[in-house]
A and B are shown apart, each in its own frame.
Chain A
Amino acid sequence: MSIYRTSITVSFFVFVFILQSALINQIPFFIGGFSLFLAMTFSWIASTDRAETFAVAFIAGILLDLNPSLEAPVGLWTFTLLLLSYLISLYRESLGDLDERPITAALYLVATTSSAILLYLIVAALLGIHIPPALTAVIDTSGNAIWTLLLSPIYFPLISRLKIRMFSIRSGV
Chain B
Amino acid sequence: MVQRGSGRTRLLLVTLLVTSLLLITLDLRGVSLVNSFRTGTQTILKPFQSLGSAIFSPIGNFFGDIANIGQANEKLDQLEAENKRLLEELAEAEDIKGELKQLKDVLDLAGRGGYKVVSAKVIAFDSAGNFEETVTLDIGSSSGVSRDMTVISGRGVVGVVKSVTSRSAIVQLISDPGFRMGVRIAGTQAMGILAGEGSSSFTLELLDARSTVNEGDVLLSRGSTGNRPFPPGLPVGVVTKVEDSIGALTKSATVRAFANLGSQGVVSVILSTKVDDPRDALVPKPPAPTPIPTVTVYLTPSPEPTKKNKSNRENG
B27 touches A26 (CB 8 A): no
Q: Known contacts A23-B52, A65-B23: does B28 contact A50 (CB below 8 Å)?
A: no
Determine the distance from Cα of A138 to Cα of B35 in the docked complex, in whole angstroms.
29
**A13 on the interface (CB 8 Å rule)?**
no
A74 touches B27 (CB 8 A): yes
Task: Tally inter-chain residue pairs, CB-CB below 8 A.
Answer: 107
A26 touches B17 (CB 8 A): no
**B9 on the interface (CB 8 Å rule)?**
yes
Q: Which of B56-64, B108-116, B146-154, B279-287 contacts A (4 or more CB under 8 A)?
A: B56-64
A50 touches B9 (CB 8 A): yes
Q: Which residues of A contact B21 (CB under 8 A)?
A: 75, 79
**B48 on the interface (CB 8 Å rule)?**
yes
B20 touches A58 (CB 8 A): yes
A68 touches B39 (CB 8 A): yes
**A132 on the interface (CB 8 Å rule)?**
no
B13 touches A70 (CB 8 A): no
Q: Which residues of B contact A21 (CB under 8 A)?
A: 45, 48-49, 52
* Cβ-closest chain A residue relative to B56: A26
**A27 on the interface (CB 8 Å rule)?**
yes
Q: Which residues of B contact A51 (CB under 8 A)?
A: 5, 8-9, 12
**A107 on the interface (CB 8 Å rule)?**
no
| Nearest-Cβ distance from residue B58 to partner chain A, whole angstroms | 11
| Nearest-Cβ distance from residue A110 to partner chain B, whole angstroms | 22
B3 touches A30 (CB 8 A): no
Q: Which positions 1-51 of chain B face chain A at CB distance < 8 Å? A: 1-3, 5, 8-9, 12-13, 16-17, 19-28, 34-35, 37-39, 41-42, 45, 48-49, 51
Interface residues of chain A: helix, strand, loop or mixed (majority): helix
Interface centre among B12, B20, B53 (most CB of A within 10 A): B20
**A146 on the interface (CB 8 Å rule)?**
no
| Nearest-Cβ distance from residue B31 to partner chain A, whole angstroms | 9
A26 touches B41 (CB 8 A): no
Determine the distance from Cα of A91 to Cα of B3 in the docked complex, in whole angstroms.
7
Q: Which residues of B contact A90 (CB under 8 A)?
A: 2-3
B16 touches A54 (CB 8 A): yes
Q: Known contacts A75-B23, A75-B27: does B45 contact A18 (CB below 8 Å)?
A: yes
Point out the residue from A30, A66, A79 that lies within 8 Å of B20, measured CB to CB: A79
Point out the residue from A26, A66, A68, A82 that lies within 8 Å of B16, measured CB to CB: A82
Determine the distance from Cα of A65 to Cα of B5 in the docked complex, in whole angstroms.
27
**B67 on the interface (CB 8 Å rule)?**
yes
* Cβ-closest chain A residue relative to B8: A51
Determine the distance from Cα of A93 to Cα of B1 in the docked complex, in whole angstroms.
7
B41 touches A66 (CB 8 A): yes
B34 touches A26 (CB 8 A): no
Q: Which positions 139-186 of chain B face chain A at CB distance < 8 Å? A: none
**A104 on the interface (CB 8 Å rule)?**
no
A54 touches B2 (CB 8 A): no
Point out the residue from A18, A23, A82 that lies within 8 Å of B13, measured CB to CB: A82
Contact bitstring A48-77, B, C-beta under 8 A = 1, else 0? 001100110110010001111010011110
Q: Which residues of B contact A73 (CB under 8 A)?
A: 23-24, 27-28, 34
Contact bitstring B52-82, A, C-beta under 8 A = 1, else 0? 1101110010011001000000000000000
17 pairs, A vs B, C-beta closer than 8 Å = A21-B45, A21-B48, A22-B51, A26-B56, A30-B67, A54-B16, A66-B41, A67-B38, A68-B45, A70-B38, A74-B27, A75-B24, A78-B19, A82-B20, A83-B17, A93-B1, A127-B24
Give me the interface of A with B, judged by CB distance under 8 Å.
18, 21-23, 26-28, 30, 50-51, 54-55, 57-58, 61, 65-68, 70, 73-76, 78-79, 82-83, 86, 89-94, 127
User: When A and B form their complex, which 6 residue pairs have the shortest distance between CB atoms, in order from nearest?
Assistant: A75-B23, A22-B52, A73-B27, A68-B42, A78-B20, A75-B24
